[in-house]
Amino acid sequence: MRNLFVKNYMAFAMLILVSFTFAGGVFMAQVSRYSVQEKQDQLETTVGYVDAIVENNTQLLREENGGFLKTYLDQQAAVSGCTILLTDKEGNVQISSLPKSDGIQKDQIQGTVSETLVASINEKGTYFGLGNVSGLFSQNYFIAGASCTDPAGQPAALVIAAIPSASTTGLMNTIMRSYLFIVSITLVLTLIISWFLSDMLTRPLKGIVSAAKKFGHGEFEVRVSENNNCDEIDELAVSFNNMATSLQQQEELSRGFVANVSHELKTPMTSIRGFVDGMLDGTIPPEKHDQYLHIISEEVGRLSRLVVRMLDAAKIQAGELIITPAPFDLTEMAARVLISFEKQINDKQIEMDVDLQDSLIVNGDSDHIYRVIYNLVDNAVKFVNEGGTLTIRAEAEGAMSLFSIRNTGSEIPAEDLPHVFDRFYKVDRSRSRDRTGAGLGLYIVKSIVNLHGGDISVRSSGGETEFAFSIPLAPKTGGAADSHRLAQR
């Protein structure tokens, strides 16, 4: 029984059955107790009335056939519905009175009450129990008894009142039949309702299971309802849909990545092959071989960088990218990166605004941080407008160093800003400038910065786009650092 619907329904059914059984048991016990108590009160009241009369008229016990007492006992038996016996102090029946509906013949109520019953009445003064009075009755009766005393306080007689226990049993059977009928109808209706409740609770889960199976077969657009009238299931549905959306986006990015990588690999390889074939078949004259070999070298470098980025992304994803922190000068590194872009900066006539704090010693992996700065400068130079401005800052802020680079030109749309550091995300598709790259650069940049315990952010508004990252400063080991600036404009 592994089906959730069956388990849920059986749990409901068992709970209902146990509840009804317990409630029925308690109810029947209370009814039985009440019935017995009612019979006891009835018999003891009757015995009390008779006992009072007998004690006040003990001389009448000696009258032949009972006389007045016989008449009184017959009246009490008719009114109370009880069988009344008056015995001497040894338990020999002297007078018996039966209710009209009793049906017991008079000659059946003759004899002697058991010594045990007589002793119990004489010892305690009263008695209540269940029995047949030593065979005087043909069936079990509820029996109440009391001892009558003479004016001298000595036992003179015993008064016994009895009523058939079958009357209570009959009442209990009637109540039981009515209870079972009501319970049966209620149980059937409750089980039907439980069936629908179980189905209502498990249907959303079945929907999620079905959606998960479709998702596993590549139907990434499938979603589940988030309005199931159950907070827990709604939360599960929302989580599932969020997961589905994220996986769908990752799938789309992965497909785009494959297409981008295929293009990025095909383009330089096609160029390399064309140039090599041209030099081999003489289409490219020997005097131009150096020019085209230089182009081939650039294409090979492009391929190499792409492969390195893919390997780094795989290492980051597997948590295997290792950094080796050591103190180095961030200012000197930034200056070297800027010098390597001198030609591109001059070609686009970019106005430079550089303000780097001198001797900004940080603690990090210099090779990885070089790649971070190089990638950010490369993007800024690539996307700055012709004759635009490139602003670079590097300074200490508390225990961290802050590096920022801002360029004028086209902005990144607000809806794309949260995704620029996502793996495989192509920043250039929104900025409509560069069509190269596989969407891994900024993902690697963010991962490297985070591994150093720093953070990176981006903003784009007012015709400007700025990237800024922070990494820890190296612990100070000597005097205070110089505070003057190195400015280049």
Quick: pLDDT tens for 311-341.
Answer: 776 777 667 778 889 999 999 999 999 998 9
DSSP 142: E
Q: What is the largest CA-CA distance in the chain?
A: 162
Residue 396 near residue 473 (C-beta atoms within 8 A)? yes
| Rounded distance between C-alpha atoms, residue 376 and residue 445, angstroms | 8
Lowest mean pLDDT segment, chosen from 17-26, 163-172, 397-406, 413-422:
163-172
Q: pLDDT class for 105, splitting at 50, 70, 90?
A: very low
> Count of residues for the chain?
489
pLDDT above 70 as % of the chain: 85
Averaged pLDDT score across all residues of the chain: 80
Instruction: Output the pLDDT for position 267.
Output: 66
Classified as helix, coil or strand, 409 is coil
**Where do we find the tokens 């990545």?**
257
Angle at 102 between CA 96 and CA 103, to 5 degrees: 100
| Rounded distance between C-alpha atoms, residue 454 and residue 404, angstroms | 13
- Residue 107 above 50 pLDDT? no
State the average pLDDT over residues 358-367: 91
Reading across the β-sheet that carries 83-88, which strands appear in turn?
93-97, 83-88, 155-164, 141-149, 126-131
Instruction: Output the pLDDT for position 391.
Output: 95
Instruction: Output the pLDDT for position 429.
Output: 44
DSSP 225: -
pLDDT in tens, 194-204: 788 777 777 78
| Rounded distance between C-alpha atoms, residue 429 and residue 445, angstroms | 19
- Residue 248 above 70 pLDDT? yes
State the average pLDDT over residues 204-230: 79
Lowest mean pLDDT segment, chosen from 40-44, 96-100, 226-230:
226-230
The Cβ of residue 55 has, within 10 Å, a number of other Cβ atoms equal to 17
Domains of the chain in start order, with CATH, are 4-170 (3.30.450.20), 231-318 (1.10.287.130), 326-488 (3.30.565.10)
pLDDT in tens, 58-84: 666 655 445 677 888 888 888 888 888
CB contact set of 134 (below 8 Å; sequence gap of 6+): 111, 112, 113, 114, 117
Instruction: Output the pLDDT for position 484.
Output: 34
